Amino acid sequence: MGRGIWFSPECEQAANEIGGFQFIDCSLDAFWDSLQKDPHGFPSIKSQMYSAKFIVTKPIANVPPLVWLFTIALNGDVTLTHVEIYESY
Protein backbone atom coordinates (compact mmCIF):
# COMPACT_ATOMS: atom_id res chain seq x y z
CA MET A 1 0.00 0.00 0.00
CA GLY A 2 1.37 3.42 -0.98
CA ARG A 3 1.42 6.83 0.57
CA GLY A 4 -1.97 8.48 1.05
CA ILE A 5 -2.53 11.99 -0.23
CA TRP A 6 -5.45 13.86 1.29
CA PHE A 7 -7.05 17.30 1.10
CA SER A 8 -7.93 19.07 4.34
CA PRO A 9 -11.37 20.72 4.53
CA GLU A 10 -9.57 24.10 4.52
CA CYS A 11 -7.75 23.20 1.31
CA GLU A 12 -10.99 22.10 -0.33
CA GLN A 13 -12.61 25.41 0.66
CA ALA A 14 -9.64 27.41 -0.66
CA ALA A 15 -9.72 25.43 -3.94
CA ASN A 16 -13.42 26.14 -4.33
CA GLU A 17 -12.78 29.87 -3.82
CA ILE A 18 -10.25 29.80 -6.70
CA GLY A 19 -12.68 28.04 -9.03
CA GLY A 20 -12.89 24.46 -7.81
CA PHE A 21 -10.77 21.37 -8.30
CA GLN A 22 -12.16 20.87 -11.78
CA PHE A 23 -10.58 24.21 -12.74
CA ILE A 24 -7.22 23.78 -10.95
CA ASP A 25 -6.83 20.00 -11.34
CA CYS A 26 -4.24 20.34 -14.11
CA SER A 27 -1.88 22.10 -11.67
CA LEU A 28 -1.91 18.97 -9.48
CA ASP A 29 -0.58 16.89 -12.38
CA ALA A 30 2.72 18.76 -12.22
CA PHE A 31 3.63 17.47 -8.74
CA TRP A 32 1.33 14.56 -7.79
CA ASP A 33 3.91 11.84 -8.56
CA SER A 34 6.55 13.69 -6.57
CA LEU A 35 4.24 13.85 -3.55
CA GLN A 36 3.78 10.10 -3.75
CA LYS A 37 7.49 9.33 -4.20
CA ASP A 38 9.35 11.91 -2.08
CA PRO A 39 7.34 14.71 -0.47
CA HIS A 40 10.30 15.51 1.80
CA GLY A 41 12.19 16.96 -1.18
CA PHE A 42 10.11 20.16 -1.33
CA PRO A 43 11.03 23.42 0.47
CA SER A 44 9.44 24.20 3.80
CA ILE A 45 8.08 27.07 5.85
CA LYS A 46 8.83 26.87 9.56
CA SER A 47 8.03 28.99 12.56
CA GLN A 48 7.34 28.37 16.23
CA MET A 49 3.63 28.04 15.44
CA TYR A 50 3.56 26.31 12.05
CA SER A 51 5.55 24.01 9.81
CA ALA A 52 4.62 23.00 6.27
CA LYS A 53 6.13 22.18 2.93
CA PHE A 54 5.11 24.07 -0.20
CA ILE A 55 4.94 23.80 -3.97
CA VAL A 56 4.60 26.69 -6.41
CA THR A 57 3.15 25.79 -9.80
CA LYS A 58 3.55 27.73 -13.03
CA PRO A 59 0.52 29.01 -14.94
CA ILE A 60 -1.00 26.30 -17.10
CA ALA A 61 -4.14 26.04 -19.26
CA ASN A 62 -5.78 29.24 -17.97
CA VAL A 63 -4.95 28.33 -14.35
CA PRO A 64 -2.87 31.00 -12.60
CA PRO A 65 0.29 30.10 -10.69
CA LEU A 66 -0.64 28.48 -7.40
CA VAL A 67 1.08 27.84 -4.09
CA TRP A 68 0.10 24.60 -2.35
CA LEU A 69 0.93 23.97 1.32
CA PHE A 70 1.09 20.47 2.74
CA THR A 71 2.16 18.49 5.76
CA ILE A 72 3.63 15.01 6.06
CA ALA A 73 2.37 12.71 8.81
CA LEU A 74 4.66 10.33 10.69
CA ASN A 75 3.28 7.44 8.62
CA GLY A 76 4.28 9.30 5.42
CA ASP A 77 0.80 10.37 4.35
CA VAL A 78 0.54 13.84 2.83
CA THR A 79 -2.24 16.32 3.59
CA LEU A 80 -2.65 19.30 1.30
CA THR A 81 -3.67 22.04 3.74
CA HIS A 82 -4.04 25.16 1.62
CA VAL A 83 -3.93 26.50 -1.94
CA GLU A 84 -3.96 30.08 -3.19
CA ILE A 85 -3.01 32.10 -6.23
CA TYR A 86 0.68 32.89 -6.17
CA GLU A 87 0.91 36.63 -6.75
CA SER A 88 4.71 36.87 -6.95
CA TYR A 89 5.14 35.28 -10.36
Q: What is the pLDDT along the chain (89 residues), one digit of tens a residue?
A: 578 999 999 999 999 999 999 999 999 988 999 999 999 999 998 888 888 999 999 999 899 999 999 999 999 999 999 999 999 86
Domains of the chain: 5-85 (3.30.2310)
Pairing of strands 78-85, 66-72: antiparallel
Q: CB–CB of 71/52 below 8 Å? A: yes
What pTM, to 2 d.p., does this model score? 0.90
Give, in order, the Cα–Cα distances in Å from 64 to each of 16, 19, 39, 46, 55. Answer: 14, 11, 23, 25, 14
